[in-house]
Structure 1
Amino acid sequence: MAAITSHWILDSIILFASLIVFSYFYVTRKFGYWKKRGVTEFKPTPFIGNLGDCLTVKKSAGQWLEDCYNNSAGLPYVGLYLFHKPTLLVRDPELIKNVLVRDFNYFQDRYARASADDKLGSSNLFTIKNPAWKTLRSKITPIYTSGKVKKMFELMVEIGDDLDTHMKSLDLGKKGKVLELKEISAKFTTDMIATTAYGLRVNSLNNPDAEFRKHGYDIFRKTFYRSIELSCIFFLPEMVGPLGFKFFSKKSTHFLRNTMWEVLMERERSGIKRNDLIDLLVELRKSYLESSDKGHFEFDGDNLVAQAAIFFTGGFETSSSTLSFSLYELAINPEIQSKLRNEILEGLEQTNGKITYDLLMNLRYLDMVVAETLRKYPPLPFLDRVALADYKVPNSDFIIEKGTPVFISMTGLHYDPQYFPDPDKYDPERFSEENKKSRKPCVYIPFGEGPHNCIGMRIGLLQSKLGLVKLLTKYEFSSCKETQIPLRISPKILITASESGIFLNVNELVAAK
């Protein structure tokens, strides 16, 4: 006998319809949240909020947030919905500065979160929450001081020599050859971070089967599943655990855990000192095990491996993107390429042809070129925070309630003609000393800003600059039929990446032969 009517089929239809109606009202219960508070909002769609283009992979999260930024011109902030959750996109530079710097205590955590079961994903410096973040950040910060980075430079030059070897092996011939530069850059920076952080010569450049490069590629592979996995971590973190999503893939987690722990234990056994990340982690583990006050963070096991893993991930990808995008822009702007090459060659004359740390620090136009690349192509195109307590926006009655996700569009700011006239043009002169001084704070933030900024900024910039110096002194880069003009950014991945690689024609300079 049926429970509601005399027919099971009719009962099933009623129950199904009731479930749909209940679900609809549940997921739309917070719609209008921003409108009620006098905040302009984008009209959400039931069940998905404003994330439609991201979920269908028509746009990356960075492109979506940039569009939201552009479509709310003149407003200090605008309301969005991540599925059903009210979310704020902050546009005003003064408020951005408050969120990232002045009132950082209200916004200390990222909104992104990995599952507690995903130890490498949830315990690393990028995703970990307070108070553990504060403890960990203070202990890890000394690894990349200017003094330590300078000491690492000789190791970096050795990898630069490996890049020379690799380029020579490609047999460019008299007419040059079309090469995919993103992969070459990624192999170079993978080798760089492996030697400077872990004391390993993984030789990705000259070994096509190098495990480190395979797993680096796997972490950022452009697939629909990986896009959904990472998007969920950033935009629907409460579902990461139930859905079994991981910050690092299962294969990469296994590789990184085994490799990094083996390196840690070997360094501890040998007592060898290299003043690198592994040395620091060994020291932190020793101090932790000997201390009676364990504090907020356990410096042992996967918690240590997680730091080694995130430094590897961030260390190679951001620098390889900066290097390859710089080469792309230099190829389609040959006058800028010539100007930069001349500056490099003049600098090398002063050092008798030797690439030194001081040389790279004093090449002013090189610094401007890299800065302009990071403006157009910030590696992570947005920043995320979450309000840890109710926050009253200065000079207003508006309160950002506790638990509200807050996003900042880097690409929105970096392409805003109010701050960067003719923003699609590649113009290193934007970063002359005069132009930098006249620019508003917090409109150029490729490494973030405030206490949560990128800890590896110094070494990341140095890696990219070294790669450019090595390549531009011996090779000329130009566009070819395989070069995308304009370059299309992939909608399948959170980071800024070209849709189908960076293909350029590469010729050996006559004087370099």
Structure 2
Amino acid sequence: MLEICTFRTTIGEWLKDFYDSTKEPFFGIFVFDEPYLVLKSPELIKQVLVKDFSSFTDRTVLAPKHDKLVSSMMFLQKSPHWKTTRPKMTPIFTSGKLKGMFPTINNIGLRMNQYIRKNLGQHEAKEICAKFSTDVIAKCAFGINSHCFDDEDAQFRKVGRSIFDFRWRNAINQTAYFFMQGWANLLHLNFVDKWATTYLKDVFWSVIKQREETNMKGNDLIDIIVDMRKNKGLCDEIQFETLRKYPVLPFLDRRCNADYQISGTNIVIEKGMPVYIPMLGLHYDEQYFPEPDKYKPERFSDKNAYNGDGLYYLPFGEGPRICIGERFGVLGTKVGLVHILSEFEIERTPDTPRTYKI
């Protein structure tokens, strides 16, 4: 764990190194004094994530007792609360809802092009993408305009930076949420800056209050929440591109909730044991992706050629806990790219690295 503890590598790259070091379908590691199982076999991964999901329903990452707001995030939620929340959120991502959001996302794409037109020259591509996605999420999830292309210091963009940009505070706290959960609870470490969650909470509830008072509809997440709040019984129950090379999450994690025997072996995954899936290792495995360091989008021209008997391409996860916003994210990405590429040529600058360092 030394490389992780000293922040000389990322968890995803660390697991990939282990992945590359063996031909076995799975192997064990110790994280401090706790044994973890790491899966390589696509067939076994499919068993854990899909077929036998009932034995691996929860992620290992901490849902903090000292922060009710963060522990209620669907990504961190544990069963049975997750099983209650997930079905109630899926209606926002139906085909009809996404179709209704398209004009909103398209208008944000137009504003992005206006911004680029006014500021032609060298740009940090990540920042432009972050402005676009922040505006899309703010409008489609919170029902407000975050004005990231109008104000370089927009408050919503500040929140995004505080959560996702590398800072020592983020590195220490968020690593503790995966590997030192006892300390994270004891020291009341926050996964996200408190001011950021407070700001988002205040914005969220002010918009909900306005919608309830005016009966306005926005075809967004707020509509779902407002409808849910009208069901008192339910409210009491829940207590209110590049994705192969650079996946959003470079690993997946599950915790075994019942003794589970690995098919074809005498090995039992004991209840409570963490199970990790090194997505970065799978996505760079030459067995599945020849010349893995090359960006070759044409390799995905036949979608049926992947994930047949097993799972090895998992940019959004898989199974019942697959990312709930997968189609929303893909739609936003496509709209953003179409707008930029329809009007501008993109070239690398002398400062652009040929190999992206995480």
Other-structure match for 1:252: 196
| Cα shift at 1:257 | 1.6
| Cα shift at 1:292 | 8.4
Structure 1-normalised TM-score?
0.68
| Cα shift at 1:66 | 1.0
| Cα shift at 1:432 | 1.4
Partner of 2:43, secondary structure, is: helix
Pick 1 or 2: higher relative contact order, CA cutoff 8 A, min separation 6. Answer: 2
Other-structure match for 2:141: 197
What code does the residue aligned with 2:90 have? T
Residues 1:454 and 2:323 are matched in the alignment? yes
Structure 2-normalised TM-score?
0.97
Larger Rg: 1
| Cα shift at 1:238 | 2.3
Partners of 1:193 and 1:436 lie apart in 2 by: 32
Matching residue within 210, 216, 225 for 2:160: 216
Partners of 1:92 and 1:437 lie apart in 2 by: 14
Partner of 2:122, secondary structure, is: strand
Q: Map residues 433-444 of structure 1 onto 2, 5 A cutoff.
A: 433=302, 436=305, 441-444=310-313
Check whether the contact 1:390–1:402 (CA below 8 A) recurs between aligned residues. yes
Check whether the contact 1:384–1:405 (CA below 8 A) recurs between aligned residues. yes
Partners of 1:91 and 1:292 lie apart in 2 by: 40
Check whether the contact 1:114–1:246 (CA below 8 A) recurs between aligned residues. no
| Cα shift at 1:151 | 1.1
Residues 1:411 and 2:355 are matched in the alignment? no
Residues 1:282 and 2:226 are matched in the alignment? yes
| Cα shift at 1:108 | 0.2
| Cα shift at 1:146 | 1.4
| Cα shift at 1:78 | 0.9
Check whether the contact 1:120–1:247 (CA below 8 A) recurs between aligned residues. no
Other-structure match for 1:94: 43
What code does the residue aligned with 2:7 have? V
Check whether the contact 2:170–2:191 (CA below 8 A) recurs between aligned residues. no
Residues 1:111 and 2:63 are matched in the alignment? no
Other-structure match for 2:215: 271
| Cα shift at 1:163 | 0.6
Check whether the contact 1:57–1:224 (CA below 8 A) recurs between aligned residues. no
Other-structure match for 1:398: 267
What code does the residue aligned with 2:51 have? R
Q: Map residues 13-92 of structure 1 onto 2, 5 A cutoff.
A: 51-72=1-22, 74-92=23-41
Partners of 1:256 and 1:199 lie apart in 2 by: 12
Partner of 1:196, secondary structure, is: helix
Other-structure match for 2:182: 238
What code does the residue aligned with 1:84 have? D
Q: CA distance change for structure 1 residues 256 and 434 in 2, over 3 Å: closer, same or farther?
A: closer
Unaligned 5+ runs, structure 2: none
What code does the residue aligned with 2:293 have? D
Partners of 1:225 and 1:114 lie apart in 2 by: 18
Matching residue within 343, 355, 358 for 1:486: 355
Other-structure match for 2:251: 382
Partner of 2:27, secondary structure, is: strand
Residues 1:125 and 2:74 are matched in the alignment? yes
Greater Cα offset, 434-443 or 413-422: 434-443
| Cα shift at 1:225 | 2.2
Partners of 1:82 and 1:207 lie apart in 2 by: 44
Q: CA distance change for structure 1 residues 157 and 410 in 2, over 3 Å: closer, same or farther?
A: same
What code does the residue aligned with 2:110 have? D
What code does the residue aligned with 1:431 have? F
Other-structure match for 1:165: 114
Unaligned 5+ runs, structure 1: 1-50, 301-369, 490-513
Partners of 1:83 and 1:453 lie apart in 2 by: 29
Other-structure match for 1:431: 300
Percent of residue pairs bearing the same amino acid type: 44
